[in-house]
Structure 1
Amino acid sequence: MLLESIILGAIQGLTEFLPISSSAHLVLVPYFFKFESTILNSTMFDAILHGGSLIAIILFFWKDLIKLKENKRLIYMIILSSIPTFIIAFLIEPIKDRYLRDISIIGINMIIFSIYILIAEKKNQEIFFINNLKPYHFIFLGIMQSLSLIPGTSRSGVTIASAYLLNLKKEDSVSISFLIGIPVISAAFLYELKKAIFVNHIEVVPLSVIIGGILSSLIFGILALVILVKFIKKYKFAHFAYYRFFIAFLIFYEVWKN
């Protein structure tokens, strides 16, 4: 169980920040490799993994967060972007686990948002910086961010691609994606923790599993952020779309086989 928790923590850390859909991989890996532990499928373990990702993003963007004190407007815009995300999340949450975690849905979303990434990169002219964005741009980013609740979408993928469509420079696109993501990832962590404690009651998770999952998610999360920032500078964002197409192919092959 410890090894599985470390594997799932690594998957959460890498795929939360790379534009390849963490929710899809966290559904698919246990599905393909037959992870059967109820603890690893519990809301408490989900909260643990989100906690590791949250620490990773705060540590990586610490300097940017400190600078926010001097940019009150950006703080307000980040809050503004969170409003449509939270509203849509509230509407989607009741049906998410029942209807949207099916692997066929994941495969379809992997394809749809791969195409979205390809279109966004082609249209990006890299004209603007974050401070050039208007309030309605942040609302648009918040709406698009909410789609990441559907497995197969990718929060970082859809927000970076959406920033590309707004002609934001590549490095600024990555920065704004994760700055607007901090409130959402924080909310996901608190929501899963609340659900684990008050709805499902506190599920007993071994200390070794907690430490393994959160450290793995933290370490691989920071690694993913380093990779993404360096990758964006040198290579095309579209390479991630090709990987997503490959995963979609594996999904539909599995569906066809069964």
Structure 2
Amino acid sequence: MTWFQALVLGLVQGLTEFLPISSSAHLRIVSGVFFGGDAGASFTAVTQLGTEAAVLVYFWRDIVRIISAWFRGLRDSSARGFDYRMGWYVIIGTIPVGVLGLAFKDQIRSGARNLVVIGVTLIVFALVLAAAEKYGRQRRPIEELTLTDGVVMGLAQALALIPGVSRSGGTISAGLFLGLTREAAARYSFLLAIPAVLASGLFSLPDAIHPADLATANLQASGLQLLVATVLALVVGYASIAWLLRYVVSHTIYVFVYYRIVLGVIVLVLLATTGLTAT
């Protein structure tokens, strides 16, 4: 991997991680279309540490409050308010992606990164996102989040193990179907991602530096390139969070639906008409 490629991919990760358009799909598409290779699932997972660091910084007060309330609630049942319950919602909602991520680790790093799969998934889940926006009642604030909401959105997050689904897209869609407001669904989506992404990134760090399978990860980054790409993802990701939370308060998410469909179609057309390979 060249330095230019590392910087571009770090920028792409930061721009797309929190938008419902799939950062892993974008990294795979940019790598394949412009750089003629694939940086690999591990590179994606590690650079996501940067964007999750942005979540930690942006939501620091919320995170500290939730963790403190969770520990207090363990000791004192009278202190079990919403923040205590939110701690459990994040823990329980993380279980599906953890279990499925370990069970299908090899498939996620190989077959799921096929550009045909990504192109189709971008389009299919664009329609899911559109249906959620159209039919979701969007009346419930985050204070009305329940355990059922946490479990359902956790299952939706697990679908994002497939590039093209989008972690935020899956969880926000599920939240809208459950009647949450766009802002509430987005906020819980960010919090829910923290444990899973941090664990995935740390687990993938050795393989990102020394890929076990160069056939599927043929753009190998050095440790320094990986670090710089991750820091860039952090800075750009922070700005992306702030923008999205402001945007969803007063705008629909149809713009992301249209974007996903157009991108998915472009990928499929390039595969059919050029020398671009799916794997």
Answer whether TM exceeds 0.5 for this pair.
Answer: yes
Deviation at 1:8, TM superposition (A): 0.4
What is aligned with 2:30? 29
Match of 1:165 among 177, 181, 185: 177
What is aligned with 1:124? 136
What is aligned with 1:219? 235
Contact 1:174 1:229 in 2 (8 A): yes
Q: Could you give the per-residue CA deviations for residues 146-198 of structure 1, whole angstroms, max 9, x where no partner exists?
A: 00010111001110111011111221111101111111111111111254579
- Give the TM-score normalised by structure 1: 0.90
Q: Provide the rounded CA distance (Å) in 1 between the counterparts of 2:193 and 2:129.
A: 18
Query: Residues 143 and 41 (structure 1 numbering): CA distance in 2 closer, same or farther, change over 3 Å?
Result: closer
Contact 1:10 1:216 in 2 (8 A): yes
Q: Provide the rounded CA distance (Å) in 1 between the counterparts of 2:8 and 2:54.
A: 17
The correspondence of residues 83-162 of structure 1 with structure 2, limited to 5 A, is 83-162=95-174
Contact 1:12 1:217 in 2 (8 A): yes
Pair 1:205 & 2:206 matched = no
Contact 1:2 1:212 in 2 (8 A): no
What is aligned with 2:215? none
AA at the equivalent of 2:3: L
Q: Provide the rounded CA distance (Å) in 1 between the counterparts of 2:142 and 2:35.
A: 44
Query: Residues 119 and 47 (structure 1 numbering): CA distance in 2 closer, same or farther, change over 3 Å?
Result: closer
Deviation at 1:223, TM superposition (A): 1.6
The correspondence of residues 55-74 of structure 1 with structure 2, limited to 5 A, is 55-68=53-66, 69-70=68-69, 71-74=83-86
Match of 1:229 among 229, 245, 264: 245
Deviation at 1:115, TM superposition (A): 0.4
Q: Provide the rounded CA distance (Å) in 1 between the counterparts of 2:267 and 2:209.
A: 34
- Give the TM-score normalised by structure 2: 0.84
Query: Residues 256 and 226 (structure 1 numbering): CA distance in 2 closer, same or farther, change over 3 Å?
Result: same
Query: Residues 196 and 32 (structure 1 numbering): CA distance in 2 closer, same or farther, change over 3 Å?
Result: closer
What number of residue pairs does the alignment pair up? 253
Contact 2:112 2:163 in 1 (8 A): yes
Q: Could you give the per-residue CA deviations for residues 124-166 of structure 1, whole angstroms, max 9, x where no partner exists?
A: 2122223323322211111110000101110011101110111
Pair 1:49 & 2:47 matched = yes
What is aligned with 1:14? 15
Q: Provide the rounded CA distance (Å) in 1 between the counterparts of 2:35 and 2:133.
A: 36
Q: Could you give the per-residue CA deviations for residues 59-84 of structure 1, whole angstroms, max 9, x where no partner exists?
A: 11112212212321110111010112
Q: Provide the rounded CA distance (Å) in 2 between the counterparts of 1:115 and 1:29.
A: 23
Contact 1:53 1:217 in 2 (8 A): yes
- The structure, 1 or 2, with the larger RCO (C-alpha pairs under 8 Å, 6+ apart) is 1
Query: Residues 76 and 198 (structure 1 numbering): CA distance in 2 closer, same or farther, change over 3 Å?
Result: farther
Q: Provide the rounded CA distance (Å) in 2 between the counterparts of 1:173 and 1:105.
A: 26
Q: Provide the rounded CA distance (Å) in 1 between the counterparts of 2:248 and 2:143.
A: 20
Pair 1:82 & 2:94 matched = yes
Contact 2:137 2:179 in 1 (8 A): yes
Query: Residues 206 and 169 (structure 1 numbering): CA distance in 2 closer, same or farther, change over 3 Å?
Result: closer
Q: Could you give the per-residue CA deviations for residues 2-61 of structure 1, whole angstroms, max 9, x where no partner exists?
A: 22211100111111111110111111101111255x8x5584x44541221121111111
Contact 2:130 2:257 in 1 (8 A): yes
Query: Residues 198 and 100 (structure 1 numbering): CA distance in 2 closer, same or farther, change over 3 Å?
Result: closer
What is aligned with 2:266? 250
Unaligned stretches of 5+ in structure 1? none
Query: Residues 196 and 256 (structure 1 numbering): CA distance in 2 closer, same or farther, change over 3 Å?
Result: closer
Q: Provide the rounded CA distance (Å) in 2 between the counterparts of 1:131 and 1:89.
A: 29
AA at the equivalent of 2:260: R
